[in-house]
Chains A and B, each alone.
Chain A
Amino acid sequence: MKAQEFRRSSFVIAALLSAGSVVACTGHIGGLASGTGGSASGGGQTGAGSGSGSGGSGSGTAGSGTADGGGPTGSAGTSGVAIVTTGTPPAESAGPLVMRRLTYREYDHMLADLLGDTTAPAEGGNAWSPDAPNAVGYVAPSSVADLQVDLYNQTADGVVETALQAVAAGQTAGKLTIPCKAPTTSAAETTCATQFITSFGLEAYRRPIAAAEQTDLLTLFSKVRGLGLSFNESLGAIVKGMIQSPNFLYHWEIGPTAPVVGSDGLVPLTSWQLASRLASTIWETTPDDTLLQAAQAGQLTTAAQVATQVTRMLSDTRATNGLFNFHEQWLFNFGSQGRDLTQPLTKSSPLFTAAVAQGIQTEFADFVSSVYTGDGTLQALFTAPYTFVNHDLGIIYGVTGPATGFAKVALDPARRGGIFTQTAFLATLASDGADNPIYRGLSIYLKVLCGTMGSPPANVPAVTFIASGTTRQSYDAHGMSACASGCHNFFDPPGFSFENFDGIGAYRTTDANQPVDATGTFLTPGNATITFQNALDLSKQLAGSAEAQTCVDRQWTRYILGRPETTAESGSMSIAYQKAAATTGFSIRDLMATLVQSKAFMFRQPSAGEAL
């Protein structure tokens, strides 16, 4: 995925910048929680990012009680937006809706659905440089550069020409169907073109075409027809216009009716808007016929109606796209230190074959999908002792994989359980040659526990590898140095829990001929102390931790809304949390489903300057 490529390379730069002389330690942690009200709850961590961290401002909106729900109105949080874990949730509201361009993945998927183009022009194109992730680690592209617009233009030409050729050859090309056969009169052509604009426009704009758009599209049709294009080519020109239009390229989903501000000051999304947002969130593509029909019938206005669609959508194989994308960004995109699952660093191990490098993406996708189609719990995601392997991945796991394709295999529950003990996680969060406790630990601290951390200071020393020492010994020596310890004490220990796994994720009991030490203890962002024996133990504790559970609530919210959470979402996030917590093991499926039928998702604040 391009976003990851982008952030990995920016990490290289961050590191380059730090390659100066070691003088003194100038960095700070971005705001450690100071806690409020004598409990670990709601400690606001608002620092981070700039390398000059601002110290904990403790701006959390903590209630009283404890983070793990022990009190009557517990709440926990790291972003300053409270999630009430037990008791009455705050009133629901909604924040602003982000207008954003399609991600490259969405763009490619939509062109595949609409025109049958399977070349993935954006993800696969050399000239398409990656979009930046937003401040909370999810790609939500906004502004556009000339080159991208040029590429949209060029791609529109190419994919439409190819689709027209397919249609001419009697093949299927996505939703591109000519609604009539060789009209012979001008009037018949216009009638047919009108039909086409209505039918294809619904697909491309994810809502009915408006009258002004239809007029303009018919004008386009007659202009290019007059310029000598054939009838079909002229319809193709319409498609080229549509897929360069902001109504295709951006998620904002205007119309077809004007927005109406309710008495609460919020604007309900229309059924069409919800259909598009659901398809984008869960499938990373355009709505299917069922969703469009539900929107047409106005049957996406209640939470129950949305819930029905979500259940259906999660059982569709396309859900793998959205689930993969969310979990991939959640666990691997932590700013400049993030890694790219789709582009693991080269490994010196002969076991890390091309089939493994490719295969870990499928492993990751299939595993998260299986969780959401299975019992749907955080506990399963973090502890279930199975995975999906191809032949070569099986060798790393010490199990027999299938000769071709992928198969679900049981793993030794004494060694592995859950996503953090799988090759996809372990081999991605690694250095070129070896395992890297820093990356693994950062994922746990920043992404699973929603901690914050400033950029590495300019002059933090590099890790010095101890000859014949274990990975842990080298990183420990580094992390305990006066300069580094201020930050590394927080994320190195959870990273050390994975010392039973080498740089490709193979299990080991010794490292450099010494017994592996995978034990540790650390202070969570919410000031809880976690002591663990190994990764299995840590994973199990995380699955049951209110801090991790509220964090996954935040992460899904950030992904779904394409922006950081605000206090407006506090109510919806609290309700989603409590719904998830009602199931043993904490149902992240219910969490996600609740969020997309919440007020935070189904409503929005008007934008400043918006025409209402």
Chain B
Amino acid sequence: MMKRDLRFSRRRLLKSIGAGAALLPMLQADRTDAACYVGGIKRMYILAWTNGMLSSINNWATSGNDPTSWSLGSMNFQDSLKPYMSDLLLLKGIDYKFIKDMPGSGERTGHACFPGMLTGAFYQLLSSGTSSDLGGGISVDQYVGTQLQKGGYKGLVSLNQGTYVVSTGHLSWSAAGQVVQPNPDPNSVFNLYFKGSLPTTVTTGAGGAGGASGANNTSAIQKSILDYVIGDLNRFSNIVGSEDKQSIDQHLTSIRAIETRLQNTTTTPPMAVDGGAPVSTVTGTPAACSFPSTASEPKTTLAASVPVITKLQMDLAVAAFAADLTRVAVMQISDQGAANLIMSWLGFTSGGALASDPNTGDANGFHAIAHENTMRKVTCDTWFQTQIAYLIGQMKSISDGTGKSMLDSSVIVGMNSMRTGTHETTGVPVVMAGSCGGYFKTGRSLGLPAGTPNNGLLVALCNAMGTPVSTFGETSYGGELTVLKG
């Protein structure tokens, strides 16, 4: 064997685009097999980032319930959304009440909101830094996805993606303390969730003494392997102490999730969940109904890769929606601080460590720019709105030819962990798009009363998705934000 010293391997840094290029033929082969489902399926896409959606000098107007007399944000920062005004529902804004009210020591600024943004629950601050903070309850993506599965849906609970997630403040939780990690790598997303889930023939591996078999029942083979692993996990779980048993049982749950995916790969057309007409199966716009090529994937660990990775991740999510591989997706762009996110594609170049505080990242990093909270920040804000616009455009482009698009039965939620670049956790703006099958009344820009907790939004999302709840997270924060329904 050629043994190489692995001590200091850092291929994570050195990883090139080679793996992406290798995927290309397979991706193209999959195209013809991918079914494209449009109408009647409710889907939820949450996009989150930090440092505020606004700065001190840009804003958008609210107009109560009047859908006609409002305009998008000042300084042109929302111009990319102009084509979609009738699909939008803008909120100003929600309060992250949990961050102020929850017990325990720690910071109370917007950077610390990630673990509660989607749970609405008090979370557990641990002493070893924000990285180890533990969410206090299930997050809305996981709740909705799990409930959909309980109702018979066969796809993923949710597709959790990220780009340039350098730090580890987490958004998504399958239960209190149980994190759902975002996958930062489009190639990995493809390999994990698409490859085995497509109605395509996969040849298994090398031959050998018994001769090449070319078995094409990969799922059954995988299931046999996982059955063994499950048996081993059960034996293991019965032997270890009760605290360790919890970890092993979580492992078991994760293995079962893989097995569930495998069982559901036989692609029977999905059922509509909104009580509407049966799902249309159309070929749609060919480009939108096929799986994107990740061949051009650059290094996922580079800030400069963020635009490309973001696009690839969004393309994959839309493709996953189209194939009904998932009905819930969460995408996180950068982390809780984005301190070293140098948005080079916007013309920013590294300015070295921030002179006033070398420990808060680059002088031209997104965080430093956010603290300026003026023109340079607006440039960044504009880019983020463009990402929402891109996603809306993609989901609208998939239509069944009768005027109904994927967006119509879906909801997109653009969220931030603070209001502007200076950490406010009240009046935090939200950009929603899509009526979720008529549940939300779009074409509005709402001003919400001060003290409207994010929980009301989370309740509304659950209810819109057909997985009803009366409260979400901290129960004392009340129920649904019904004004969203119009």
Which positions in A face B, CB cutoff 8 Å? 2, 6-7, 9-20, 48-52, 96, 99, 105, 108-109, 112, 116, 118-120, 123-130, 132-133, 135, 142-151, 153-154, 156, 160-161, 164-165, 167-168, 171-174, 178, 181-183, 212-213, 216-217, 219-220, 223-224, 227-234, 236-237, 240-241, 244-247, 250, 252, 254-255, 320-321, 324, 335-336, 342-343, 348, 358, 361-362, 365, 431-433, 436, 455, 458, 462-465, 606-611
Binds A, one of B7-15, B267-275, B382-390: B7-15
- The listed residue (B242, B248, B337) touching A246 by CB distance below 8 A is B248
- In the complex, 10 of the A-B residue pairs with CB atoms within 8 angstroms, ordered by the A residue number, are A6-B168, A143-B246, A144-B254, A151-B192, A165-B205, A178-B209, A224-B225, A230-B212, A250-B248, A464-B356
User: Quick check: A123 and B12 within 8 Å, CB to CB?
Assistant: yes
Residues of A within 8 A of B132 (CB): 132
Q: A52 CA to B106 CA in the complex, in Å?
A: 8
- Contacts A143-B247, A217-B228 known; list 10 others, CB within 8 Å: A10-B167, A12-B167, A16-B336, A16-B337, A17-B130, A20-B109, A48-B127, A147-B180, A227-B221, A609-B243
Residues of A within 8 A of B3 (CB): 112, 116, 118
- The listed residue (B2, B127, B254) touching A149 by CB distance below 8 A is B254
User: Quick check: B357 and A611 within 8 Å, CB to CB?
Assistant: no
Q: How far is the CB of A94 from chain B (nearest CB, A)?
A: 15
Q: Does B111 contact A (CB under 8 A)?
A: yes
Residues of B within 8 A of A168 (CB): 206-208
- The listed residue (A6, A51, A108) touching B9 by CB distance below 8 A is A108
* Count class of interface residues, chain B: 35 or more
Q: Does B71 contact A (CB under 8 A)?
A: no
Residues of A within 8 A of B2 (CB): 116, 118
Q: A136 CA to B112 CA in the complex, in Å?
A: 23
Q: A584 CA to B235 CA in the complex, in Å?
A: 50
Q: Does B149 contact A (CB under 8 A)?
A: no
- Write the chain B residue with the least CB distance to A146: B254
User: Quick check: A123 and B11 within 8 Å, CB to CB?
Assistant: yes
User: Quick check: B254 and A145 within 8 Å, CB to CB?
Assistant: yes
Residues of A within 8 A of B214 (CB): 228
Per-position 1/0 for B406-423, Cβ under 8 A of A: 000000000000000001
Binds A, one of B53-61, B183-191, B433-441: B183-191
Q: A513 CA to B209 CA in the complex, in Å?
A: 74
Known contacts A12-B340, A147-B183, A463-B357, A224 near B131 by CB under 8 Å: no
Residues of A within 8 A of B188 (CB): 125-127, 151, 154
User: Quick check: A607 and B242 within 8 Å, CB to CB?
Assistant: yes
User: Quick check: B191 and A118 within 8 Å, CB to CB?
Assistant: no
User: Quick check: A245 and B129 within 8 Å, CB to CB?
Assistant: no
Residues of A within 8 A of B131 (CB): 6-7, 9-10, 13, 132, 336
User: Quick check: A233 and B204 within 8 Å, CB to CB?
Assistant: yes
Q: How far is the CB of B204 from chain A (nearest CB, A)?
A: 6
User: Quick check: B129 and A51 within 8 Å, CB to CB?
Assistant: no
User: Quick check: B301 and A126 within 8 Å, CB to CB?
Assistant: yes
- The listed residue (A13, A96, A146, A224) touching B336 by CB distance below 8 A is A13
User: Quick check: A127 and B184 within 8 Å, CB to CB?
Assistant: yes
- Write the chain A residue with the least CB distance to B125: A50
User: Quick check: B335 and A9 within 8 Å, CB to CB?
Assistant: yes
- The listed residue (B11, B166, B352) touching A124 by CB distance below 8 A is B11
Q: Does B476 contact A (CB under 8 A)?
A: no
Q: How far is the CB of A256 from chain B (nearest CB, A)?
A: 12
- The listed residue (B13, B228, B360) touching A220 by CB distance below 8 A is B228
User: Quick check: A120 and B9 within 8 Å, CB to CB?
Assistant: yes
- Write the chain B residue with the least CB distance to A611: B239
Q: A228 CA to B216 CA in the complex, in Å?
A: 8
Residues of B within 8 A of A161 (CB): 204-206
- Write the chain A residue with the least CB distance to B214: A228
* Nearest 8 A/B pairs, CB to CB: A607-B241, A232-B208, A609-B242, A49-B127, A124-B11, A231-B210, A230-B210, A462-B357
The winner among B185, B229, B247, B371 for most chain A CB atoms within 10 A is: B229
Contact residues of B between 329 and 362, Cβ < 8 Å to A: 335-337, 339-340, 352-353, 355-361
User: Quick check: B207 and A237 within 8 Å, CB to CB?
Assistant: no
Residues of B within 8 A of A252 (CB): 236, 240, 244
Known contacts A145-B179, A431-B353, A611-B238, A229 near B9 by CB under 8 Å: no
User: Quick check: A50 and B205 within 8 Å, CB to CB?
Assistant: no
User: Quick check: B241 and A608 within 8 Å, CB to CB?
Assistant: yes
Q: A20 CA to B216 CA in the complex, in Å?
A: 59
- The listed residue (B6, B258, B423) touching A120 by CB distance below 8 A is B6
Q: How far is the CB of B306 from chain A (nearest CB, A)?
A: 14
Residues of A within 8 A of B112 (CB): 17
